[in-house]
Structure 1
Amino acid sequence: MRGDGSGEFIRLEVDGGVGTIRLDRPPMNALNKQVQEEIRAAAVEASARDDVRAVVVYGGQKVFAAGADIKEMADVSYVDMAARAGALSSAFTAVAEIPKPTVAAVTGYALGGGLELALCCDRRVAGDNAKVGQPEILLGIIPGAGGTQRLARLVGPSRAKDIVYTGRFVDAEEALSLGIVDEVVAPDDVYEAALRWARQFVNGPARALAAAKTAIDGGLNGSLADGLKLESQVFAALFATEDQKTGMRSFVENGPGKAVFNGR
């Protein structure tokens, strides 16, 4: 695997068109300020690079991320956190805004900020030993990096409130039934399962995939009428791409599913 973009704790490793944003801050990948900003930088780089066509976010074989660095937060004042909270949220939003298919490969714990990071991906693959949750309430706070918003949009307000209010850990089987994760496999198979999903898109129509993500995510933020307008705009724009011409000509000449796209 070829490592390119890297910080002290976060690496962007690119291999065969798939970029892996690798969290590596032993033992629990605690998400301190430095880690958060390195995640932002890796997401921005993955977004910009033409050789990255899909992205896996991975914490390693033992743990995804067990949450924020509480030692760093414990003595922070309201004034300081008020100044920092927006940057915390936007660092994770940089992952959500990667204009390519993204998948979180979750082993072990994905708690607090760890679950919030996983929720920024399009899909989540978890080991059968995984435990996810938003335990911030047990610290006298609430999720502050998207947990109250992305979780509620994913599983509905009632289920999100149960998870946020109680701070309980949700095991892999329940997380699958609730739709928090999309696939459960043996822990040793998590990364390969995530790669398998991501590799589907390496030779796909990159502009159309980005447009699909824009339409779905953007449409969830407003009314149905606004979403339909957005869909129409990004749909029409694809008729300016090479892949649209390639895909339709291939369909006419050879039938469906045989087009070879160049991502432009």
Structure 2
Amino acid sequence: MGESVLYESSGEIVTITINRPHVRNSIDGPTALTLRNAFRRFDDDAGAKVAILTGAGGTFCAGADLTSVGDPERRNDLDPEGGGAGPMGPTRMTLSKPVIAAIAGHAVAGGLELALLADLRIVERDAVLGVFCRRWGVPLIDGGTVRLPRIVGLGRALDLIMTGRPVDADEALAIGLANRVVESGRSLSAARELAEQLVTFPFECLLTDRASAYAGLDMTVADALRAEGVAGVPVVAREGAAGAARFVGGAGRHGQFDEDPPEPRW
């Protein structure tokens, strides 16, 4: 059946594809390890700036492969101490660079949790998201109860977590679970367009702001403001001064980019 996870580099953009379409890209233990290693490879590669996570065959990921539960060689890693990188693979990793999820078909149960690992989610119009593991007595142990409230708010998260109901693309966009909604078949190309836009920016600045946004979630406002300044001020000299000089010289006036990227076709 080939490799369970595909890793493709194109310049500064990496595409990681869950490649088990015969089981709707569900994740067993060996696939989880391979997926974890793919994200570790991306995070360690100084030449890679943005990763796209997607699934083969028109489905993002249907969650854990429940056929592996009774097989010691294929079952997902379940640490009773809550350690490790997560049963689905990379879900307890702290990544230093942006990830975009390109979502087609279903992103449910552990598949939704993988999507929540991403910074941004591009969702096809006929996609379905949800905590479908609710009906099988399988809890969210890949970050779902942690990341979902931070993304959509506690009230909406509890609705999805407790009911396990399906969420379509329009609702996902309305509640902030999706960042973009695109037509069927366009999630991957739209994710690539977005990744190409991100890599054009002064990247140390982008990474610093991204890291500050995440770190601030666990701090008081006063501490977060102080940490933002500590991390950001040195970047002003390294990247901001050159950007300011370009602006003073006439670039970027009226909100225009120096070289406008192509209009995204969401």
| TM-score band w.r.t. shorter chain | 0.7 to 0.9
Q: Name the structure where helix makes up a greater proportion of residues.
A: 1
2:36, 2:85 within 8 Å by CA — same for their partners in 1?
no
Dislocated runs of 4+, deviation >4 Å: none
Aligned-partner SS, 1:220 = helix
Q: State TM-score, norm by structure 1.
A: 0.85
Aligned-partner SS, 2:46 = coil
2:10 equivalent in structure 1: 15
Which of residues 210, 213, 216 is equivalent to 1:213? 210
1:93 equivalent in structure 2: 92
Alpha-carbon distance, 1:210 to partner: 0.9
Q: Percent identity?
A: 32
Q: State TM-score, norm by structure 2.
A: 0.84
Q: What's the CA shift string for 1:89-143, capped at 9, x where partnerless? A: 372133xx33333210000000111111111111111111101011222122321
Which of residues 45, 48, 51 is equivalent to 1:52? 48
2:20, 2:56 within 8 Å by CA — same for their partners in 1?
no
Q: Distance in 2 between matches of 1:223 and 1:74?
A: 45
Which of residues 3, 21, 27 is equivalent to 1:26? 21
Q: What's the CA shift string for 1:191-250, capped at 9, x where partnerless? A: 111111111022321111110110001111222122112211111231453x33422332
1:105 equivalent in structure 2: 102
Q: Distance in 2 between matches of 1:74 and 1:177?
A: 39
1:163 equivalent in structure 2: 160
1:53, 1:202 within 8 Å by CA — same for their partners in 2?
yes
Corresponding residue pairs, total: 247
1:253 equivalent in structure 2: 249
Which of residues 175, 178, 198 is equivalent to 2:175? 178
Q: Where does structure 1 lack aligned partners over 5 or more consecutive residues?
A: 1-6, 260-264
1:132 aligns with 2:129: yes
Q: What's the CA shift string for 1:49-79, capped at 9, x where partnerless? A: 2332222111134100000111223588xxx
Aligned-partner SS, 2:90 = helix
1:36, 1:88 within 8 Å by CA — same for their partners in 2?
no
1:244 equivalent in structure 2: 240
